[in-house]
Amino acid sequence: MRRSNKVRVDMVTLWCVLSLLTFLSVEASGTNPGAKLRVTQKGLDYELEISINPLREKLKTIQIPNMSGKEEVLFMDVSYRVSSMQIEEVLMDSTAVGLVPGTGVSLSIGKAYIDLKGNWEVEYLFIDDGGWFTLSIFDIRISTTIGVNNDGQGHPTVYAASCSASIGRVEIDLHGGLSWLYQLFDSYINSALLDALQPQICTMVTEAINSINPHLKTLNVLAQVDKYAEIDYSIVGSPFVSYSGIDLGLKGEFYNIGQHQEPPFSPTPFSLPAQDSNMLYIALSAFSLNSAGFVYNNAGVLKLYITDDMIPSSCPFRLDTKTFGIFIPQIAKQYPGLKMEFLLKAAKEPNISFEPNLMTLEASSTVSAYAIQPNATLSPLFILNMNASVSALIYVSGLKVLGKVTLKKIDLTLNTSNVGPIQVKLLDNVAWTILNVAVIPRVNALLKNGYPLPAIGEMNLRNTQLQILKDYVLIGTDVQFGGVDLPDVL
Ligand SMILES: *[C@@H]1O[C@H](CO)[C@@H](O)[C@H](O)[C@H]1NC(C)=O
Ligand SMILES: *[C@@H]1O[C@H](CO)[C@@H](O)[C@H](O)[C@H]1NC(C)=O
Ligand SMILES: *[C@@H]1O[C@H](CO)[C@@H](O)[C@H](O)[C@H]1NC(C)=O
Ligand SMILES: *[C@@H]1O[C@H](CO)[C@@H](O)[C@H](O)[C@H]1NC(C)=O
Ligand SMILES: *[C@@H]1O[C@H](CO)[C@@H](O)[C@H](O)[C@H]1NC(C)=O
C-alpha cells in the first residue's frame, strides 16, 4: 500500500515537473507569432475532395500474399492454395473530415468497398482442381486521427495518430469447381484473407497521410521579397486545433537578406476571430509590417533625392531658389538663380498601426534642402524634421499583399538653418505638394510590387477578402491547388 502510494506521488511529481518544463520551453522559445494561418472545416473538406482519389489509388496497391493450407471439409482432407490476388476496384462512400480540438483532424470512411480477383487450387482424394474467384468486401470502415505538428524546421507536419479499420461482410464468387468449395472459403479462406488485408488498410492510410508531408514542406518558410528583404514564415510553437480550425502561428517577420537582426519591438499577442466561412485565413500583424520598416531602414533605402525634374510641368512652382526665396528671402539673395534639390530620409523606421478598417503609417524623417551650384556642388540650406502620416489601402493580388498610400497629414519643424530664421509654417503647402507629386507616386509604385503571402505548392486564391482589425489584417480566402489532380495528397 505504502509502496504504491509512493509510486503515485512520484508519478504526480514527475507529471508536474514535465508540464512545468513544457510550459517553460514554450515560453522560452515562445516568441509570439507575427502572422497566423487558419485552416477551417471548409478547407479540410476541400482537401478531402482532392485527396480521396490518391487514397483510393493507394489502397489499390495493397498486396495480398498467396495463401495455402489444409482443412477438413465434408470429412475430406482438402489442400488449398489461393494466389495472384489483386485488388480491382476500391470505392469510398460516406467520407468525412472533422476537427478534433487539441489533436488534429479525424478522417472517417464509413463505407468503402473493395473488389478483388484471384486464383484458387484444391487437392482432395487425388483430385486436382482450380479456377478463379472474385471477392467483394463490403462496409469497410476506416477511422483515423491525423495529428498536426511542427517539424522543428518551421514546416507543419501531419502524422497518423490513430487508425482502425473494420470489415463488414464478404461475398465470393467462384468460377469453376464444385459448390461445396464455398464452404471451404466461408469457413477458412475468407477470414485468413481478411486477416491479411485488414492491417494493410491502415498501413496504406498511414502512408497516404505521411505522403502529405513533402507537400507541406513547400511552405515558403523563407520568401524573398526583393534584393533587400526576405520574410520568414516558419511555424512557431505548436499548431492549435479548435472547432474553428487548425491555427498555425507563423513568425511573419521581415529580415535583411542573410542578416537576421531582431528589431527593438516584438509581436503583441492577437487571436483570430471565430470566422470559418472561408477555407483559409491569413492574419498579418502590425509587427510583421513594422519589421519590414525596420529592415528597409537598416538597409539604408528609406531615402529619396527629390529633384526638379520629378516635379511635373503642370505644377505652379519649380524647385529653385526663386520659389523658396519667396518664403525664405535670404535664399534668393545668397543663391540667386539656382536649382534646388532635397533629400528626404527616414529618421527611424516608420510605424504602421491597424485600427478597425484603418491602416495608418507614420513616418519621421528629415528633409535636407540644397542649392545646386553651377559646378554641381550642393550647398546645404536648411534641414526640416517632418512627420508624415499616410493612410494605406491594403489588398491581395495573386499570392501577394499590395498597398497604396494616401497622404493625410504632415508636421514640419526646423532642425537646422544656414539661411537665417525660417517660418516653417509657410512651407507647409509647398511640402505637401512636393510629397504628393514626387514622393507618394514612387512609394505606391514600390508597394505595387507587394510581398509574398505564406503559400504551399501551387496554391491559387479565390473569393479573397481582407479586413483590417485591431492590430492585424485578416485575409479570408478559398484556395485551389494548381492543376486538377494533386498527386499523393490526402
Ligand atoms: C503467388 O503465386 C503466383 C502463382 O502461383 C506466383 O506467380 C507468385 O510468384 C506467387 N507470389 C509469391 C509472393 O510467392
Ligand atoms: C505606433 O503607432 C501606434 C498608434 O498610433 C502607437 O500606439 C504606438 O505607440 C506607435 N509605436 C511606436 C513605436 O511609435
Ligand atoms: C563650386 O562652386 C562653389 C560656389 O561658387 C564654390 O564655393 C566651391 O568651392 C566650388 N567647388 C568646387 C569643387 O569647385
Ligand atoms: C514627430 O513625432 C515624434 C514622435 O514619434 C515627436 O517626438 C516629434 O515631436 C514629432 N515631430 C514633429 C515635427 O511633429
Ligand atoms: C535633426 O535631425 C537629426 C537626424 O534625424 C536628429 O537626430 C536631431 O535630433 C534633429 N535635431 C533637431 C534640433 O531637431
- Report the separation in Å between the CA atom of 463 and the middle of ligand 5, taken as the mean of its atom positions: 47
The pLDDT tens digits for 323-374 are 999 999 999 999 999 999 999 999 999 999 999 999 999 999 999 999 999 9
Instruction: Give the model's confidence band at 434: pLDDT under 50 very low, under 70 low, under 90 confident, else very high.
Output: very high
Query: Cell digits for 136?
Result: 467483394
| Cα distance between residue 478 and residue 456, in whole Å | 13
Query: What value, to the nearest 5°, has the Cα angle with vertex 341 and ends 349 and 365?
Result: 15
The per-residue pLDDT for 364 is 97
**Mean pLDDT confidence for 305-333:** 95
The per-residue pLDDT for 186 is 85
Ligand lying nearest the CA atom of residue 350: 2
The pLDDT tens digits for 163-183 are 999 998 899 999 987 878 888
CB-facing half-sphere around the CA of 163: CA atoms within 13 A: 20
Ligand lying nearest the CA atom of residue 349: 2
Write out the H or E segment, with its range, that includes residue 83. Answer: strand 76-100
The pLDDT tens digits for 385-424 are 999 999 999 999 999 999 999 999 999 999 999 999 999 9
The per-residue pLDDT for 176 is 83
The per-residue pLDDT for 1 is 36
Atom 4 (ligand 2) nearest CA: 353
- Report the separation in Å between the CA atom of 362 and the middle of ligand 2, taken as the mean of its atom positions: 8
The per-residue pLDDT for 481 is 86
- Report the separation in Å between the CA atom of 35 and the middle of ligand 4, taken as the mean of its atom positions: 29
The per-residue pLDDT for 30 is 54
The pLDDT tens digits for 187-217 are 888 888 898 898 999 999 999 999 989 989 9
Ligand lying nearest the CA atom of residue 121: 1
Residue type, 383: I
> Does ligand 2 come within 6 angstroms of the Cβ of 351?
yes
The per-residue pLDDT for 412 is 98
| Cα distance between residue 268 and residue 471, in whole Å | 8
> Does ligand 2 come within 6 angstroms of the Cβ of 353?
yes
The whole model's pTM is what? Answer: 0.85
| Cα distance between residue 156 and residue 250, in whole Å | 10
The per-residue pLDDT for 16 is 39
Strand, helix or coil at 178? Answer: coil
Q: 346 forms bridges with which residues in the sheet? A: 365
When mean pLDDT is compared across 19-28, 236-245, 276-285, the lowest value belongs to 19-28
Atom 11 (ligand 3) nearest CA: 377
Higher pLDDT, residue 18 or 95:
95
Q: Which residues are within 8 A (CB) of 4 and not within 5 positions of it... i.e. 6 or more apart?
A: none
Higher pLDDT, residue 437 or 488:
437
Angle between helices 41-60 and 190-210 (to 10 degrees): 130
Residue type, 248: L
Query: Cell digits for 276?
Result: 470559418
Could you tell me if 230 and 260 are in contact, meaning their C-beta atoms sit under 8 angstroms apart?
Answer: no
The per-residue pLDDT for 205 is 93
Could you tell me if 364 and 348 are in contact, meaning their C-beta atoms sit under 8 angstroms apart?
Answer: yes
**Mean pLDDT confidence for 240-268:** 94
Ligand lying nearest the CA atom of residue 383: 5
Query: Which atom of ligand 4 is found nearest the CA of 412?
Result: 13
- pLDDT above 60 (res 18): no
Task: Give per-residue burial for 457-479: e unless 16+ CB within 10 Å, then b.
Answer: bebebeebebbbeebbbbbbbbb
Could you tell me if 157 and 148 are in contact, meaning their C-beta atoms sit under 8 angstroms apart?
Answer: yes
Query: Which atom of ligand 1 is found nearest the CA of 65?
Result: 13
Could you tell me if 290 and 265 are in contact, meaning their C-beta atoms sit under 8 angstroms apart?
Answer: yes
Tell me which DSSP letter residue 449 carries.
T
- pLDDT above 50 (res 26): no
Ligand 1 pocket by C-beta < 6 Å: which residues? 66, 83-84
Residue type, 281: Y
**Mean pLDDT confidence for 87-115:** 94
- Report the separation in Å between the CA atom of 351 and the middle of ligand 2, taken as the mean of its atom positions: 6
> Does ligand 3 come within 6 angstroms of the Cβ of 259?
no
Q: What is the mean pLDDT of the chain?
A: 89
State which of 290, 351, 365, 390 you would mutate to test the pocket of ligand 2, scoring each by most atoms of that ligand within 8 A of its C-beta: 351
Ligand lying nearest the CA atom of residue 416: 5
Q: Which residues are within 8 A (CB) of 313 and not within 5 positions of it... i.e. 6 or more apart?
A: none
- pLDDT above 50 (res 9): no
Higher pLDDT, residue 430 or 183:
430
The three-state DSSP-derived secondary structure of 93-140 is: EEEEEEEECCCEEEEEEEEEEEEEEEEEEEEECCEEEEEEEEEEEEEE
Higher pLDDT, residue 4 or 329:
329
Atom 7 (ligand 2) nearest CA: 353
- pLDDT above 60 (res 466): yes
State which of 321, 375, 378, 381 you would mutate to test the pocket of ligand 3, scoring each by most atoms of that ligand within 8 A of its C-beta: 375
Could you tell me if 143 and 159 are in contact, meaning their C-beta atoms sit under 8 angstroms apart?
Answer: no
Query: Cell digits for 68?
Result: 495455402
Ligand lying nearest the CA atom of residue 348: 5
Query: What value, to the nearest 5°, has the Cα angle with vertex 274 and ends 273 and 275?
Result: 95
| Cα distance between residue 161 and residue 102, in whole Å | 12
The per-residue pLDDT for 101 is 94
Higher pLDDT, residue 258 or 35:
35
The per-residue pLDDT for 131 is 93
| Cα distance between residue 318 and residue 340, in whole Å | 9
Tell me which DSSP letter residue 425 carries.
G
Could you tell me if 461 and 477 are in contact, meaning their C-beta atoms sit under 8 angstroms apart?
Answer: yes
Report the length, in residues, of the chain: 490
State which of 84, 119, 128 you would mutate to test the pocket of ligand 1, scoring each by most atoms of that ligand within 8 A of its C-beta: 84
- Report the separation in Å between the CA atom of 34 and the middle of ligand 4, taken as the mean of its atom positions: 27
The per-residue pLDDT for 163 is 96
The per-residue pLDDT for 8 is 42
Instruction: Give the model's confidence band at 75: pLDDT under 50 very low, under 70 low, under 90 confident, else very high.
Output: confident
> Does ligand 3 come within 6 angstroms of the Cβ of 375?
yes
Pairing mode of beta strands 358-372, 339-346: antiparallel
Instruction: Give the model's confidence band at 259: pLDDT under 50 very low, under 70 low, under 90 confident, else very high.
Output: confident
